[in-house]
Amino acid sequence: MRKLNIFITILFGMILVNHNAFSQEADALQKQIDELQNQIQDLTIKMKVANKKQEASDDAPKFKVGPGFSVKHGNKSFEVHGRMHWDVGYYGEVKDQDVYGSGTNIRRARLGFKGKADDFSFTATFDKGSSAKAASDIADQTSIDEIHFSYHPTKTMKLSIGKLKMPMYFEEAISSNDISFIERSVAIDIFSDKQFGPKRPAIRFTTYDKKLGYFFGVAHGFGPENKIDNKDGNKLNTIRAAFAPVLSKTQVLHLGAWGATVDFGGGYAASLCKLEYRAELNVTDAKPLKTSSIHSGNNICEGAQHYGLEAAYLGQDGQFWALGEYTDYTAFRSGLDGAEVPDYNADSSTLSMGYVLNGKKRYDIKKAAFKAPKVETKWPNKGTGVWEVAARYSHVDMDDNNSSKILGGVMDNYTLGLNWYINGNAMIKANYIRSIMNNKAAQNAGATSASLNGGGASTDIYGMRFQYKF
């Protein structure tokens, strides 16, 4: 009996001890729960304060300075932007004659302003740079490169009026900051530069759709900017449509077409109905391609039209790209007495391709054109920049041997390019151009007929561009 009492006493003691321990653990747990609730309450208060500060911050204007300047406040924005393109060129001899002349040229020196408020926007850009000038031309003057305002009925539609770029050509749609060569192909510029644009006082409508992969643009333009007194200005119309059945960030198949017509009006045919251009580097004013007799004497140039086809491809994870374009041109002529006069015909084509070694070429359906690679490895702090190699063939035939018998020259250019995208702003381009000309083109450039012997000529051109954008 005594042993039983001892056993009961010990068991009761153990139960009492365990009960006390459990009670202490429960108290500690409750204390932790209370502390956690206090922390949650403190965190909730801090989050409310942070949200109020964020709301106040969102309502304040957001500034971005260097390089350039921009400010955004709600659906209103303003931006200062610009670019500088400085070219250096060395031209080889043509049949032992220095007909070109090497040197340098400030190709572009632009400062621009952009603004947007609700569904309206404006653009104003001024340029001090230019193509090379002949000795008889006046010195470079500051000019209005673009100035227009726009209405955006939807995010993908835009109606603009002012001096603006006319919708035509894939290569014309690429910004001069983003082209993979120093200049656009002569096969493009010889037709678009003087008669049809590329920038004119006009009314323009553009629209696009990323999901369906299409772009459409149409414009009605006027000119020239400095009108002759008591003379009707020329009128031009352009249209461009493109479709990308394959459209992603790293793979694109682009198909497009465009057309343009111009009515020269009274008093402008003599100055505008002629075609002339340089050899894809605007450091010298020598123009191997030149037709000055389309409008002459009793032969009246009433207007012109040209149309073209374009195709582009982006693949291999955005590193390889290719582009091809074709142009057919006709200048319509008549005689003073109503007699029939043969029209003038010319054509051109260009094919280019390139490979981005350590980056990705981009495609923008908003313009239906390529964009420069984005530079993630900026030199010198984050890497070596982005490198790109490119090659291009350009063919222009200005000799109309079939109808009008007007000869303007034939040129074939073979170009190799190397581009170094240093960062998102600075870039250096290097081009080698092998330019092959027939007799007429070589004479237009300045070579004597005696030196040619009917065999045409060729020359080597070396160029570099140092450019900066912001």
Q: Is the pLDDT of residue 103 over 90?
A: yes
Mean pLDDT of 361-378: 97
CB 153 within 8 A of CB 360: no
Within this chain, do residues 94 and 157 fall inside the same structural domain, yes or no? yes
Within this chain, do residues 125 and 179 fall inside the same structural domain, yes or no? yes
Identity of residue 292: S
Within this chain, do residues 146 and 278 fall inside the same structural domain, yes or no? yes
Q: Is the pLDDT of residue 284 over 60?
A: yes
Q: Is the pLDDT of residue 274 over 80?
A: yes
- Where does a domain end: 18, 40, 60? 60
- Where does a domain end: 60, 82, 101? 60
Task: Please report, rounded to a whole number, the percentage of residues in the chain having pLDDT higher than 70.
Answer: 87
Within this chain, do residues 121 and 198 fall inside the same structural domain, yes or no? yes
- The token duo for 369 is 């054109």
Within this chain, do residues 15 and 38 fall inside the same structural domain, yes or no? yes
Within this chain, do residues 50 and 76 fall inside the same structural domain, yes or no? no
Residue 18: Cβ within 10 Å count? 10
Q: Is the pLDDT of residue 173 over 90?
A: yes
pLDDT band at 255 (very low <50, low <70, confident <90, very high): very high
Q: Is the pLDDT of residue 429 over 80?
A: yes
Distance CA 264, CA 271 (A): 10
pLDDT band at 127 (very low <50, low <70, confident <90, very high): very high
Distance CA 461, CA 434 (A): 6
How many Å is the Cα radius of gyration of the chain? 33
179 contacts: CB under 8 Å, gap ≥ 6: 171
Residue 95: its pLDDT value, please? 87
Residue of 11 and 239 predicted with greater confidence: 239
User: For the chain, how long is the longest CA-to-CA vector?
Assistant: 149
Distance CA 159, CA 165 (A): 13
Mean pLDDT of 87-95: 94
For the stretch 180-226, pLDDT in tens is 999 999 999 999 887 887 898 999 999 999 999 999 999 999 876 65
From 155-169, 189-203, 342-356, the region with the lowest mean pLDDT: 189-203
Q: Which of 111-120, 134-143, 267-276 has the highest mean pLDDT?
A: 111-120
Residue of 76 and 225 predicted with greater confidence: 76
419 contacts: CB under 8 Å, gap ≥ 6: 180, 387, 388, 389, 390, 427, 428, 429, 430
Residue 1: its pLDDT value, please? 53
From 134-143, 196-205, 436-445, 448-457, the region with the lowest mean pLDDT: 134-143
Within this chain, do residues 15 and 78 fall inside the same structural domain, yes or no? no
CATH of the domain at 226: 2.40.160.10
Residue 226: its pLDDT value, please? 59
Residue 57: its pLDDT value, please? 56
If we measure between CA atoms, which residue out of 166, 310, 190, 309 comes closest to residue 238?
166
Residue of 136 and 288 predicted with greater confidence: 288
Distance CA 194, CA 29 (A): 85
What is the model's pTM?
Answer: 0.84
Mean pLDDT of 308-322: 98
Residue 369: its pLDDT value, please? 98
CB 387 within 8 A of CB 354: no
Q: Is the pLDDT of residue 98 over 50?
A: yes
Residue 189: its pLDDT value, please? 94
Question: What element of type H or E holds 150?
Answer: strand 143-151
72 contacts: CB under 8 Å, gap ≥ 6: 61, 62
Residue of 129 and 218 predicted with greater confidence: 218
C-alpha distances (whole Å) from 178 to each of 173, 264, 362, 426 are 10, 32, 10, 11
From 98-112, 128-142, 255-269, 279-293, the region with the lowest mean pLDDT: 128-142
- Where does a domain end: 20, 43, 60? 60
Residue 10: its pLDDT value, please? 55
Q: Mean pLDDT over all residues of the chain?
A: 88
Mean pLDDT of 157-182: 97
pLDDT band at 76 (very low <50, low <70, confident <90, very high): very high
Domain of 1, in residue numbers: 1-60
Within this chain, do residues 307 and 427 fall inside the same structural domain, yes or no? yes
For the stretch 11-54, pLDDT in tens is 555 554 454 554 566 677 677 777 767 777 777 777 777 766 66
Q: Is the pLDDT of residue 82 over 90?
A: yes
- The token duo for 143 is 């000019």
Counting the structural domains of the chain, the total is 2
Within this chain, do residues 257 and 404 fall inside the same structural domain, yes or no? yes
Q: Is the pLDDT of residue 136 over 90?
A: no
Within this chain, do residues 343 and 446 fall inside the same structural domain, yes or no? yes
Q: Is the pLDDT of residue 377 over 80?
A: yes
Residue of 234 and 382 predicted with greater confidence: 382
If we measure between CA atoms, which residue out of 262, 274, 337, 275 comes closest to residue 302?
262
Residues in the chain: 470
Within this chain, do residues 13 and 146 fall inside the same structural domain, yes or no? no
Residue 338: its pLDDT value, please? 73
Within this chain, do residues 55 and 73 fall inside the same structural domain, yes or no? no
